[in-house]
């Protein structure tokens, strides 16, 4: 299976797509995929589509399934492949734009992070280093 990490702007579409959870009924004539305005990409993973323009993606393989947990199933999975959006992160994982992550609190309530900020790197002698001077 795949996991897409949506941006703040994609939250409503993802919520509607999870119609069995959100109870979004749509107009009933086109089906929920036709109403889904975000695009899905099918070429990134053979395990399933991913959300185009998301912050990042994971391709996972189930290694254990736990059933009969009330009305839920728990899947324990191994991450086989991971990627971050080249439009949002540079190759080192540094954000190129200000973005907000989203997490579901409960039901239809979500929280979002504040804009990102940077702190200085330091060497062992407590001297400030620019990002270019930092050794990984």
Q: What is the tens place of the pLDDT at every residue in 104-134?
A: 777 777 887 766 566 666 666 667 666 555 5
> Using one digit for the tens of pLDDT, what is the confidence trace for 18-54?
666 666 666 666 666 777 777 888 999 999 999 998 9
Confidence band for 6, pLDDT divided at 50, 70 and 90: confident
Do residues 11 and 21 lie in contact, with contact meaning Cβ atoms separated by under 8 Å?
no
Q: What is the pLDDT of residues 52-100, one digit of tens each?
A: 989 999 999 999 998 877 877 889 999 999 999 998 888 888 888 877 7
Tell me if 45 sits within 8 A of 66, measured CB to CB: no
Is this model's pTM higher than 0.95 or not? no
Calpha distance 21→13 (Å, rounded): 13
Quick one: which of 16, 73, 1, 4 has its CA closest to 40? Answer: 4
Query: Residue-wise over 44-70: b if at least 16 C-beta within 10 A, else e?
Result: bbeeeebbebbbbbbbbeeeeeeeeee
């Amino acid at each position: 299976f795949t996991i897409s990490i949506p941006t703040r702007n994609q939250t409503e579409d993802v919520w509607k797509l999870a119609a069995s959870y959100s109870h979004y009924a749509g107009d009933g004539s086109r089906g929920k995929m036709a109403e889904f305005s975000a695009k899905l990409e099918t070429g990134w993973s053979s395990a399933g589509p991913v959300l185009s323009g998301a912050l990042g993606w994971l391709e996972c393989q189930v290694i254990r399934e736990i059933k009969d947990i009330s009305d839920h199933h728990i899947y324990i999975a191994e991450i086989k492949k991971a990627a971050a959006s080249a439009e949002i992160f540079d190759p080192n994982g540094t954000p190129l734009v200000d973005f907000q992550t989203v997490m579901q609190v409960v039901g239809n309530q979500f929280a979002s992070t504040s804009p990102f900020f940077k702190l200085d790197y330091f060497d062992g002698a407590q001297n400030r280093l620019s990002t270019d001077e930092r050794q990984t």
